[in-house]
A and B are shown apart, each in its own frame.
Chain A
């Protein structure tokens, strides 16, 4: 057995930390803030990474990527999330939109969309969830009705992260309501400035840009906008989920925040209530376990034999850890955690983490869905 990620991965970690230290200020808390400079900072940083061939490190070289292995991808995922995702919303284009276009897109789509993603020049969002279709995507109501050689789309999407920032959207719509659930949905690559597309931010505890509504009012799309096959959207989504099965490395930010707050508290840490310090011990172990479980899913990906249950187990562990660490950090800082501005402890990172962690067991596949998958792997059935 060997848990060493290898010299390439560790060298990459060192390099990424140096880049982050040089380009990202200590008080950076991600692109999703009220300050447009934070988004601008991520756009500049994406270009910095792209210049070093690090932004699309995981992509095959033929598509402008760095040809990195899964462990290097893991390091990127960890370091970026630990440092409040300085790629901003562009991580979505890199992590799954680009790979989905590589696999299912036409040559024209690849040529049009992959270079700007790899160069850090475009933000994508995904239009999947609807008011009546959350975990149950097959019941979505947004309708694409045939019109000439294309379609007219009407409907509404919701929770659409980064919709107000994005230039493009991977939009899921129903092209055949009479078809089976797996043949009902088609994916469209939709420019956000197309006539009939409007967006509205939803104020939330998560902060700006995380949750939005997307309204589609007689939006025209053509055959060239279809990603994959008409009626083949579900397959593309499943592929995309498989590509990004481990999800964001929430454990890495927990790890970083525990370390930073421990250092920030100094001797005060030793005066925290004993029960809290015991929880801190357990939190560090939970973070380690979550990381190891994520590695099992990555190792399966590397061997070409991924299974749903392993990825779900990793997600359950990391999302629960995210929430328990969030609560622990808030308790450790006491009333200071109620001050969320950049003059607060860790520049507001404790408050920011707590708020975002509340959605950990809901976003990108609820914990209930993950538990269903784990149970099915052991018991069969539903």
Chain B
């Protein structure tokens, strides 16, 4: 049993963290809403870090490097379709979509797009112009065009898992911000962190974050060892859990931050707004849960007492 990330992966993540901080951290994401150069800068930073040299399909080590990069990118809601480019097929970025209502985050960026559903059915996609929005500021509508060769289910699974790492990064960042806030913010003559109800709320958020951290690592490992049906169920289960943990933690953060947490001058506001696309695309939590119901029925969601 080895539950820690390899040291070289951690070091890679630290480099990425420094690089994204130099770009302005969450501030880059906010700037990207109005300044196209910001997303270009994010792309350049990823290239400098060697992101596009990572072959996420190659082996577990490469996948872990990509996962850590996604986590760090999530801490600043890096305004770039990182996962979609890591999983590009023949130069076309790969997005996961709900075919009934296809939307692609950052779909307005130059380059071709492939859109796959959770079964791997794939079409080329034509994206529309981005429209200003508080939630999903980079989400574009897409029209699904010609049928393409289905992507392997393994790519769908990697997509879901890497997206969960990004969400974990956002949760990490929001939790760190609120922890600092309640240590220094005083009300009724004492720091918020002195109130037991605040301490309990934070403890619950920490439990949720730690649980997600373990599940995301475990599921990444499972991609290399489980049967195809089991790892597909695992990937969906992880994304469902990541969605719900992120929602819980962000809610907790807003409550503890008060009004400042809704202001874009505070990073939590930007983190929350910019995480919404990942939380709801290609499907929101309840739809993912419904999708897993047949997997439970078929014994595909494995446990100590269920084997696919």
Contacts and interface: CB of A to CB of B under 8 A. Distances in A.
Given A316-B207, A378-B179, A381-B193, A274 B290 contact: yes
B203 interface: yes
Contacts of A3: 1, 3, 218, 221-222
A256 B293 contact: no
B1 A71 contact: yes
Contact of B215 (A262, A280, A288, A378): A288
B211 A293 contact: yes
B71 to A, nearest CB: 14
Contact of B305 (A1, A82, A269): A82
Contacts of B237: 281, 284-285, 288
B202 A375 contact: yes
B2 A317 contact: no
Contact of A281 (B60, B182, B211, B296): B296
Interface string A79-101: 00010000000000000000000
A362 interface: no
Interface in A148-169: none
Interface in B24-80: 60, 64
Given A1-B64, A1-B221, A313-B207, A293 B214 contact: yes
B304 A252 contact: yes
A284 B194 contact: no
Contact of A287 (B202, B293, B303): B303
Contacts of B210: 293, 296, 310, 313
A280 B296 CA distance: 8
Nearest to B220: A1
Contacts of A310: 210
A256 B305 contact: yes
Nearest to A373: B203
A41 B305 CA distance: 24
B4 to A, nearest CB: 7
B5 interface: yes
A379 B204 CA distance: 13
A371 B199 contact: yes
A278 B305 contact: no
Interface residues of A, number: 52
Contacts of A280: 293, 296
B7 interface: no
A28 B288 CA distance: 37
Given A284-B301, A289-B241, A296-B214, A374 B203 contact: yes
Contacts of A252: 304
A298 B204 CA distance: 21
Contacts of A278: 286, 289-290, 293
Contact of A289 (B2, B3, B211): B211
Contacts of B2: 1-2
Nearest to B176: A378
B187 interface: no
A291 B64 CA distance: 22
B303 A292 contact: no
A256 B306 CA distance: 9
Nearest to A257: B305
A6 interface: yes
Contact of B203 (A71, A260, A262, A371): A371
Given A82-B304, A292-B211, A370-B203, 10 more contacts: A1-B6, A252-B304, A258-B305, A281-B289, A285-B240, A292-B215, A293-B214, A296-B3, A298-B1, A313-B206
8 contacts: A2-B2, A3-B1, A289-B211, A293-B214, A299-B1, A374-B207, A378-B206, A382-B199
Interface of A: 1-6, 71, 78, 82, 252, 255-256, 258-260, 262, 269-270, 274, 277-278, 280-282, 284-285, 287-293, 295-296, 298-299, 302, 310, 313, 316-317, 368, 370-372, 374-375, 378-379, 381-382
Across the A-B interface, the 7 shortest Cβ-Cβ residue pairs: A375-B199, A259-B305, A292-B214, A371-B203, A374-B203, A289-B211, A278-B289
